[in-house]
Structure formats: C-alpha cells, structure tokens
Amino acid sequence: MKITQQIAQSIALAILIALHNPTFSQTKSYPQNYFRSPINIPLATSGTFAEIRNNHFHSGMDFRIGGVVGEPVYAVANGYVSRIKVSAYGGGKTLYITHPNGYKSVYMHLNNFVGSIAEYTKQCHYKQRAFEIDIDIADSILPVKKGMLIANAGNTGGSGGPHLHFELRYADNDKTLNPLLFGMPFADNIAPVIHNVRVYPAGEGSTINGQASPMMIKETRTNKKTKKKYTVVNDTIYVSGRIYTGIYTTDAAPKSTQKNGVYDIKLYVDNELIFHYSPTEFMFEETRAVNSMIDYDWYKKHRQAYILSRKLRGNKSQTCRVYKNNGYISFADNGCHKVEYKVTDFDGNSAKLSFVVKNNSTPTSTTTPIKPSKYNIPIAYYLKNRYKTDGYAVYFDENTFYENDMMCYQKHPAKYRSILTDVHTLTFKNYSLPPHITYTAKLTIPDSLLALKQKLVPVTVDGKKIVAQPFTINADTMVVKLRTFDGLALSIDTIAPKVAASNFKEGKTIATKTLKVKISDNLSGITRYDCYLNGEWILAEHDGKTASLTINTTNATTKGKNTLKVIVTDRIGNTTIKEWTLLF
C-alpha cells in the first residue's frame, strides 16, 4: 500500500514530537523474583546504585553486614562462576557469576571464597605464583545453584569497612543495572533530603543578584554580635543572561546511612521538565562523565556533589537527559518564573524545593575590551587534539574533553628536591575537569639525566601531592598515560622497598600460624612480592589499605627451625630481600 506524502510527513512529525517529549521513555522490563538476596540478613545500604563517587558512578549497591567480616554470601540464581579477580586494591576478592537468563551477578570485597571456588582459586594462585589474579573460567568448571554458599563478606581491596558490594550486569556487555529493578527485598519509607541548590551564571554577561558568581538558595550566615549561625533562604533571585542550576541531595533508608545517592531528579521551569537525572543502568565507559555532571571544583573541596542541570556536549552518558537548550535556562521577558526540583527515591518517597527567578536583563551599549589571554591553544572535544613543544608533547583522542575550550601550556621550576626537571602544566579557560579517557604525554629526558634513565620515574604534581605514573621508555623519551591534568615532571627512584616483620621476630618461637609482614615503597610503587617458606613459594595475601602481607603457614611448617624469605620489587626494579629464621 502506498503512503501519501502528507501521511508520511504526519508520521515523521509525530515521531519527532515523541522523541522530544519529556514524558517519552522506553520502558524496560526486568525479571522479578528471579534473583534472591545475596545475604540472609535484611538489606540495609551504605551505598546506592550510581551514587556519585570520586571520578565514577558507584556501579552497584553496598549492603551492610553489621560492621564485622564473615557474613555468608549466596549465589542469587543458578549459573556458573565465569570470572575470579583478586586484588590488593579496588574490589579486593571478587566473584562473577553468569546466569542463563542473560545477566551476571558480581560480589566484591569478599573476605574469602568457600568450597570448590576456594580450592580452584588457590590452585590459580599457586599456578601463577601470584596473589593478584584475574581469570576467566569456562561454564563447566564451577557451576552454582541458587542459594548456594559461595563466599563470606569482608573488607578486602579498597573497601572502607566491612560490607558486600553487589552488582547485576548484562552478561554480554557488562552494562551494570540497579539491582532494585529486579525486585530485591528492600523497603524504604524515608524521603530524600534536598540540602541545597546553587544557581550559576552561564558565561560572560550573566549575573545572579548582580554578581557574576554562583549563589546558594540556602545561605548560612553568622550574626556579628552573637556569633551564632543562621540560615537565609533566597526564595526569589534576580538573573540576567543564561543560568543553570545544581542540586545537592541525598537519600536514606531504614538502618542505612543518611547520605546515599538518590534515584531520580527532575527540574521544572514553569512546570516544564528541562532536566532529568535517572541512572538506572550505565556502561563503564560512561562512568568518568560524572565529573562533567557535577560542580567538580566544589566537590573536590567539600565532597558535596551538586548535580548540574546543564549537559556538556561531550558527555555521552545516558544517566541524565536535557530537554531544552542543553539544560541552560534563560528568559525572554522580565516576569517571575517558578523553578522547582523534585527528588524521588526508588520506593516513591519524594522531596521538593522551589524558588522564583525574575529576569532582570537590560540592554547595554558598552563593550568590554578583550584582554590578551594566556589560553591560546584551541581544543575541540570531538576531534583529536595535539600539542608539542620543546621536550614535551601531548596527544588527545576524540572525546577526551567534554566541551570545546582553550588550553594554556606552561612550565615552571620544581619546588621539591625529589623532582629533577621543570614541571609541565596544562590549564583550561572554561572547564577544569579531568579527562574522560586517558591521554598520552611524552617527556624528553634531558641529556644530563640520560645516564640515570633506568631509575627515572614520571610523576604528576598537585601541590604537595606527588604521584608516580606508569610509563614506557622509548630511546630518550618517557611515554606516559595520564588520567589527570596535574603537572608532569621527572623524578628518580633509587630506594628499594621497605620490608619488616609485624608479628614475629628473628630466631624467636612463633605462637601464631598467621605471619604478617609490612611492605612499602617510597615512590614508584610495588609491582611484585614473593614469599618462600623453607624454600617453597607460599601464598601471601596483600592488603593495600594496611600495606601488609598475610601468610597462612598452617600445614606448611615443620617443628623446630623454619626459614621465611620475602622478596619485594618496585616498578623501577629496586628489590629488597629479607630472611628470617622462625621457631615453631
């Protein structure tokens, strides 16, 4: 049947309207009651899905386990262990279980694995002669049943306290989803809290209450006579030019912390939805975009995440949507306009905050003379960007940045003796945000340092913070992969790692079967550690938080004299070997 041009145009128009309608969404269905809870105690959270963390969205839910390690952890459905990862940092001891319905469950910061999973993992440790392992496993090796005990919850890796970090992902692409979408037994009758809202001028010529700086809706002031603090609410503000807003809001639930992330944020201007934040799922490639979605400078200083209504063009994350002018707000008249936030948790509890904005724009005939700027290197977020000067070069791929900008390159003498070269710095005129993906920097080694190049280490410099970075050496050039715009320079590492016994002494009788050894490095970082008991390699568990090795010697020692040797090597190759004679 032939469709007339008029009908075709009508259909196209209807589709276009639907796509731009704020209420338009694709409703996805998730299997309910397929997955059980990973623990048997009532679910209480210390971290929620997509909660804003340092440089990333929280990729799962953190379940409280009473402040102590050891809570049993169970497989949430039938499937098989498809991956085991053990690290001194990050997720610590982690299990990945793939399920036949196309999903994958992930369990992090585990204290220990149990049964056949524990035995298989131990075999892998000894086969690779390494504590840190990351192995993919065939579906026939470690099958699991729903409700099967697989591990005990703990505090390993980068965990800040005993808990279970739990995730549900799509098995084919590892896209992570909010576990509550699957009917997890989690009850919440406590509404979110809106702590404050900030209003920001958007570019030159924009002002808020006459000032070209952000303003808080709720301000804390101090009485000059009594010195007591009090709160002032700016329920009506006067603006000129374009503005955008940011909200600091948190959620709580019974027996959970008071400052969890929220589930849904909507911003209305005159009852029209212009911004919607609803992170129900995301790819890990999106996660660093969180830095472009918050007031990053404020977060660095105060650790309060103000989620911004504007969306930069290089932010490809689907966790938020803007429906008008990329989330920027402006008015054509001088009337009053209502701005309202509505924040909702997963169970539908909500909080609102509204204020009035009055446009106060007045035409001006004066022009401000343009001053010379140090920002003279153009950056296009959608293109590859390159910059090269004497002894230094940087290479940015597409989508390293979130928006077009102007860059400034400078170098200056180092303030610290440990730094051997000038510090190369990059700053940006409009957006002081970390890069979305890593970029490459190349440093030419000065002739005066070439004889020492095997001990040189590239470091980033941020105030007093000096951090060694991974690198390769190509002739006289250091090639460095970076994820910050901190200053870059060369340092030197000639100091071997420190190794010291914690709970035993040379030649003394040992009452415990669990030996602890402290290990640390001054700069480049430890890359390898090996322990030998009576000449045989023995597993040592590395805890990055306490900088220690734990060696379980059960069934590995003999009565009388035993020898323990620990070898620790840093990234440059500096090595320390310590040996002890132990009596059992």
Are residue 339 and residue 385 in the same domain, yes or no? no
Q: Which regions of 521-560 does DSSP assign to beta strands (E)? A: 526-533, 536-538, 541-543, 548-552
**pLDDT tens column, 203-216:** 888 999 999 999 99
The DSSP result for 386-425, as a single string, is EEEETTEEEEE-TTSSSS-EEEEEEEE--SSTTB-SPEEE
Q: Flag whether 331 is in a domain.
A: yes
**Under 8 Å CB-to-CB from 215, ≥6 apart: which residues?**
198, 199, 208, 209, 234, 237
What mean pLDDT is predicted for residues 478-485?
A: 97
Q: Which residues pair with 485 in a beta bridge?
A: none
Q: How confident is the model at residue 245 (pLDDT cuts 50, 70, 90)?
A: very high
Which CATH number is 559's domain given? 2.60.40.1220
Which CATH number is 117's domain given? 2.70.70.10
Q: How confident is the model at residue 219 (pLDDT cuts 50, 70, 90)?
A: confident
Are residue 204 and residue 331 in the same domain, yes or no? yes
What is the rounded distance in angstroms from the CA atom of residue 79 to the CA atom of residue 95? 12
Task: Tell me which of 436, 463, 492 is where a domain ends.
Answer: 492
Are residue 415 and residue 301 in the same domain, yes or no? no
Are residue 526 and residue 453 in the same domain, yes or no? no
Weakest mean pLDDT among 101-110, 236-245, 261-270, 358-367: 358-367
Task: Tell me which of 147, 182, 217 is where a domain ends.
Answer: 182
Copy the structure tokens of residue 334: 């001088």
Q: Flag whether 5 is in a domain.
A: no
Q: How far is CA 477 from the centre of its chain?
A: 31
Are residue 321 and residue 200 in the same domain, yes or no? yes
Q: 339 in helix, strand or coil?
A: strand
Decide if 155 contacts 112 (C-beta within 8 A). Answer: no
What is the rounded distance in angstroms from the CA atom of residue 327 to the CA atom of residue 379? 22
Weakest mean pLDDT among 23-37, 230-244, 400-414, 454-468: 23-37
**pLDDT tens column, 424-455:** 999 999 999 999 999 999 999 999 999 999 99
**Under 8 Å CB-to-CB from 557, ≥6 apart: which residues?**
513, 533, 534, 582, 584
Are residue 176 and residue 142 in the same domain, yes or no? yes
Residue 17: predicted pLDDT:
34
Copy the structure tokens of residue 496: 């071997």
**pLDDT tens column, 371-395:** 778 999 999 999 999 999 999 999 9
Are residue 223 and residue 343 in the same domain, yes or no? yes
Residue 6: predicted pLDDT:
44
**pLDDT tens column, 273-295:** 999 999 999 999 999 999 999 99
What is the rounded distance in angstroms from the CA atom of residue 576 to the CA atom of residue 574? 7
Residue 98: predicted pLDDT:
98
What mean pLDDT is predicted for residues 557-562?
A: 90
What mean pLDDT is predicted for residues 516-531?
A: 96
Cα dihedral 152, 158, 162, 165 in deg (nearest 10)? -60
Question: Hunting for tokens 């402290």 — which residue is that?
Answer: 518
Residue 363: predicted pLDDT:
53
- Checking if the pLDDT of 370 tops 70, the result is no
Are residue 457 and residue 318 in the same domain, yes or no? no
Backbone φ and ψ of 431, nearest 5°: -130, 110
Decide if 247 contacts 217 (C-beta within 8 A). Answer: no
Copy the structure tokens of residue 305: 């995440």
Q: How confident is the model at residue 72 (pLDDT cuts 50, 70, 90)?
A: very high
Decide if 88 contacts 544 (C-beta within 8 A). Answer: yes
Are residue 480 and residue 575 in the same domain, yes or no? no
Backbone φ and ψ of 291, nearest 5°: -65, -30
What mean pLDDT is predicted for residues 41-49?
A: 93
Task: Tell me which of 492, 517, 545 is where a domain ends.
Answer: 492
Q: Flag whether 187 is in a domain.
A: no
Q: Flag whether 304 is in a domain.
A: yes
What is the rounded distance in angstroms from the CA atom of residue 124 to the CA atom of residue 133? 8
Are residue 446 and residue 578 in the same domain, yes or no? no
Are residue 153 and residue 210 in the same domain, yes or no? no
- Checking if the pLDDT of 253 tops 90, the result is no
Residue 18: predicted pLDDT:
39
Residue 368: predicted pLDDT:
58
Question: Hunting for tokens 């276009």 — which residue is that?
Answer: 16
Q: Flag whether 365 is in a domain.
A: no
Weakest mean pLDDT among 15-24, 53-62, 342-351: 15-24
Q: Flag whether 329 is in a domain.
A: yes
Residue 3: predicted pLDDT:
40
Q: Which regions of 132-210 does DSSP assign to beta strands (E)? A: 133-136, 143-144, 149-153, 163-170, 176-177, 193-201, 207-208
Q: Flag whether 98 is in a domain.
A: yes
The total of other beta-carbon atoms located within 10 Å of residue 450's CB is: 11
Average pLDDT, the chain: 92
Backbone φ and ψ of 508, nearest 5°: -95, 155
What is the rounded distance in angstroms from the CA atom of residue 564 to the CA atom of residue 579? 6
Q: How confident is the model at residue 81 (pLDDT cuts 50, 70, 90)?
A: very high
pTM of the predicted protein model: 0.90
Copy the structure tokens of residue 119: 């035995």
Which CATH number is 469's domain given? 2.60.220.30
Are residue 344 and residue 394 in the same domain, yes or no? no
What is the rounded distance in angstroms from the CA atom of residue 182 to the CA atom of residue 76? 11
Residue 330: predicted pLDDT:
93
Structural domain count, the chain: 4
What mean pLDDT is predicted for residues 12-16?
A: 39
Q: Flag whether 151 is in a domain.
A: yes
Q: Give the residue numbers spanning the domain of 503.
A: 498-583
